[in-house]
Chains A and B, each alone.
Chain A
Amino acid sequence: MAADITLAAPIGTASQPSSFAEFWASFRENKGAVAGLVVLSLIVFVAIFADVLAPHSPLEQFRDAVKLPPAWYEGGNWAFPLGTDALGRDMLSRIMHGARYSLFIGLSVMAVSIVCGVALGLLAAFAGGWIDSAISRVMDLIVAIPSLVLAILIIAILQNPSLEKTIAAVTIVSLPRYVRLVRASALSEMGKDYVIAAKVAGVGSLRLMLRTVLPNCLAPVIVQAALGVSDAILEAAALGFLGLGAQPPTPEWGAMVGDGREFIRSEPWIVTLPGLAILVTVISINLFGDGLRDALDPKLKRS
């Protein structure tokens, strides 16, 4: 029986520590990826400890300090290092708390899409027939509509925009990528010898799906998930910008850019700073995701 298990799982449990070391060695070579990881860790740290780190409450309106510029400009005040917005709220505190919302949206969209995407993808690959056709066609349908338009449509149907509905809309929009990826790699794995061997050995189909095939499809899914976080953050920010995401006074970055755009000529920091925050976060996630792909993809690794 021991032989069967080895056949069923070529990436054996015993070899995992060394494979992580191998991954880290190759990831470390990529300077951009490491920089991305460092910046991302910093953002995560700020997001987790925003309550302690932020100098003010993100919602408190300082009525006698409205539209102050960042502290190093004339008229600035070090009590508000990055200035204040049109209602006298501290920009730095709002951006710190905004990191929390953006990362929360990104991670929850990723988590939900992975779970649903893997489930639907495996089901399509294993069941075949009309189930496969149905799942694939629905995914094609979702891809056929421009993602932002579809997200707006979903919000419109759900009515009363809120953070949760933003997450739901962005998840539905990003689902097809995961489903297609899992289905394609599961199908290609299923033709391989070790799967056939496992089948011959009488492994049940659920175990075949989850223990035999799934671990070998995970590498591309992990990469897709890492990059998907930044896509989700961008889409949620776009919805927030249009007023269809988090509702006021939530300090969500996209909504902050949307509310501040009338000041682009007179008080540009109100619209620029949250925009920069989105930019930095998305770039660092993308760099990290690229590094992840390079390290996990054997073909790229050896070239």
Chain B
Amino acid sequence: MTTRQLMNSLGVAMAMCLAAGGAANAKALVYCLEGSPENFNPALTTTNTSLDASRHVFDQLVEFERGTTNLIPGLAESWEFSDGGKTVTFHLRKGVKFGAVKDFTPTRDFNADDVLFSFNRQLKPDHPYHMVTGGKFDTFNDMDMGKIIQSIEKKDDSTVVFHLSEPNAPFMANLAMDFASIGSAEYADALTKKGTPEQIDQVPVGTGPYSFVAYQKDTVIRFKARPDYFRGKPAIDDYIISIVPDPTVRFAKLKAGECTLMGFPRPSDLPEMEKDKSLQVMHQPGLNIAYWTFNEQKKPFDDVRVRRALIMAIDKAAIIRDVYGNTGQAAKNPIPPTIWSYNDTVKDYPYDPEKSKTLLKEAGVTTPLDIDLWYMPVQRPYNPNPKRIGEMMQADLSKIGVNAKLVTYEWGEYRKRLQQGEAMTGQLGWTGDNGDPDNFFFLLGCNAARDGGQNIARFCDKTYEDKLQKARQSTDKEERAQLYEDMQTIAHDQAVWFTIAHSVVYEIAKSNLTGYKISPLGRHEFAGADLK
């Protein structure tokens, strides 16, 4: 499909964009997004859906290389650690310009003040912009950044020093996450003068490849390419987000040429998509894990033999085949194979109902044993159908004399009750945020095993915990990898989780999109892409 046809199908929307762009043959890309953004500040949202809407406006000090989890310099040209890893000095890039929006034209280049503004806004409760738009900096707080960062100091206009309370290996990867995006301090001052500070999170200004044009609520968001972007003007002139919550409608729009790219297709639509010559089906192993876990504070799950017995009773291959189809691979470790330090020598438990009956007998469990099995009420990126998986587990468990009662609650309530430790066994999963193994392993740490914590197995093993803390404070990647490999062996031996699968993320594009890369972090980035 040519750009011209695409424009025709977009009709009025495109015409308005062209008028704004002023170019006769501007290239436009329409991304069909699955939901509306809450706001346009990456520090105030946690879902990729909202982050996709503001991501292209901003840069971070360090960034993930597109399509990978490797760190590359962003707004900081270089950095060095000193004081045993407790001080980080960033040397900022010079001559980087902010993009303009309708009511604000930047007059100065990016400098250290902008870094201080962006971090102090989240760090300091008395910062004038802290409480604007509610002050809920969830990611910043969940990552413990408030405790890790003691203070931030401006040496000169292009040097910033972060003082940390202790050495922290995942710190640099954290800084590449969206919440660490750098906004404009000059813009904030201008808004304060005008008396409309809340605009900062609705009309975003940053140094990124695109600048914000307009948002029509629940319908469309428009961006235009910046010729003065520090990495050079992106090939696609107009970047448009069309908000389409229903996967079937997204597919229909993609076929009709009203979208260039869509995410989250229905697995059952994939065969049809693959047959269509005008589409390209892209996929990549997701940075995630789906698991079923046992609450070790409840009998009889305190006995490792019982946990192993239940794990061996479930036919994992059938779950992968019948529920995930092509969209998942069986998991044997708590981290996906795409993350460094993945321990491939771990051998998964076999499907062996006979062995599992013997183990139950050895553990002194009398059958029939009644347990509850919680399943999520909603589809998750790592789990296309928790209910169906629950039903398969229920059938497999009945063969070894375990009666599982299926239980579920509304999604928010489900997580709350699960984290309070109400379930005997339950399904859940995790999607990584920054590609660092710590981002997965903390799920089995003692800290998270408190009531309300994310460690719903309530697993707290001293050897595991020591290694977790040691790996967090070490900056030697090889040493960390070794520690993480050991921790995977411990998790396997202790039968903490029945690791179900790592799902494969699918994205479907028109065949004329080139140079686009699926991000393992679930981001949608178009700065290096082009249209044929």
Contacts and interface: CB of A to CB of B under 8 A. Distances in A.
Nearest to B271: A266
A285 B497 CA distance: 50
A266 B268 CA distance: 7
26 contacts: A59-B395, A60-B395, A61-B391, A61-B395, A63-B315, A63-B318, A63-B322, A66-B322, A86-B322, A86-B388, A87-B388, A243-B377, A247-B406, A248-B387, A248-B390, A248-B391, A248-B394, A249-B394, A249-B395, A249-B406, A259-B388, A262-B266, A262-B268, A263-B268, A265-B269, A266-B271
Interface string A246-267: 0111000000000100110110
A59 B377 CA distance: 21
A249 to B, nearest CB: 5
Interface of B: 266, 268-269, 271-272, 315, 318, 321-322, 377, 387-388, 390-392, 394-395, 406-408
A157 B9 CA distance: 48
Interface string A52-67: 0000000111010010
Contacts of A86: 322, 388
Contacts of B390: 248
B205 to A, nearest CB: 42
Contact of B392 (A61, A259, A265): A61
Q: Is the interface of A mostly helix, strand, loop or mixed?
A: loop
A160 B407 contact: yes
A86 B268 CA distance: 12
Given A86-B322, A243-B387, A248-B390, 19 more contacts: A59-B395, A63-B315, A66-B321, A87-B322, A87-B391, A87-B392, A88-B322, A160-B407, A243-B377, A247-B406, A248-B387, A248-B391, A248-B394, A249-B394, A249-B406, A259-B388, A262-B266, A266-B268, A266-B271
A61 B394 CA distance: 10
A265 B377 CA distance: 23
Contacts of B321: 66
Interface in A251-303: 259, 262-263, 265-266
Contacts of A61: 391-392, 395
Contacts of B407: 160
Q: Which 8 A-B pairs have the closest CB atoms?
A: A61-B395, A266-B268, A63-B318, A248-B391, A249-B391, A248-B406, A66-B322, A262-B268
Contacts of A59: 395
A263 B271 CA distance: 13
Contacts of B395: 59-61, 87, 249
Interface in A169-203: none
Given A61-B395, A160-B407, A248-B406, A265 B268 contact: yes
B330 to A, nearest CB: 15
A interface, size bucket: 10 to 19
B403 to A, nearest CB: 12
B269 to A, nearest CB: 7
Contacts of A160: 407
A263 B325 CA distance: 14
A145 to B, nearest CB: 20
A62 B13 CA distance: 51
Interface string A218-238: 000000000000000000000
Contacts of B387: 243, 248, 259
Contacts of B377: 243
A249 B394 CA distance: 9
A63 B316 CA distance: 12
Nearest to B267: A262
Contacts of A248: 387, 390-391, 394, 406
Contacts of A60: 395
B121 to A, nearest CB: 40
A47 B231 CA distance: 71
B362 to A, nearest CB: 28
Contacts of A63: 315, 318, 322
Name the residue among A60, A262, A263 with the largest chain B CB count within 10 angstroms: A262
Contacts of A243: 377, 387, 408
Contacts of A266: 268, 271
A248 B268 CA distance: 22
A60 B399 CA distance: 11
- A60, A66, A87 interface centre (most CB from chain B within 10 Å): A87
Query: Which one of A63, A66, A263 has the highest number of Cβ atoms from chain B below 10 Å of its Cβ?
Result: A63
Contacts of B406: 247-249
Nearest to B389: A87
Contacts of B322: 63, 66, 86-88
Nearest to B272: A265
A59 B392 CA distance: 10
A86 B318 CA distance: 11
A9 to B, nearest CB: 52
Nearest to A161: B408
